[in-house]
Amino acid sequence: MSIRNKVFGFAEKPRLTVTRSLKHISAQIINDVDGKTLVSASSNDKELRGMIKPEMKRTEVSKIVGAQLAKRALAANIGAVAFDRNGYIYHGRIKALADGAREGGLNF
């Protein structure tokens, strides 16, 4: 909650939040004013399952999810976001997802 007090998503700069489990990672871009999810991507999406190979490392999968999220965000006219790491350390899969989103064209 201490992170949520500092990071807030507006219409012009929504919040990108990350959730991870042992197997999967997901990310959402949220407008906190309206309380709506604008764009989301997950390693469990049907569209991404074709890109993800069983021998890939989880950091590689996270980078693909970040790139896909950026692609969907740019299609929805979202260029800048506030990054909410959701209490996770900015390392490993969280960093890979952020790098993939930055390479895809998101600014944060």
Here the CATH number for the domain that contains residue 48 is 3.30.420.100
**Interatomic CA distance for residues 32 and 79, integer angstroms:** 17
Task: Tell me the residue range of the domain where 25 lies.
Answer: 2-104
Q: What is the pLDDT of residues 7-34, one digit of tens each?
A: 776 778 899 999 999 999 999 999 988 8
Total domain count, the chain? 1
Mean pLDDT, range 70-74, rounded to an integer: 97
Rounded (5°) CA angle 89-34-94: 15
pTM tops 0.85 = yes
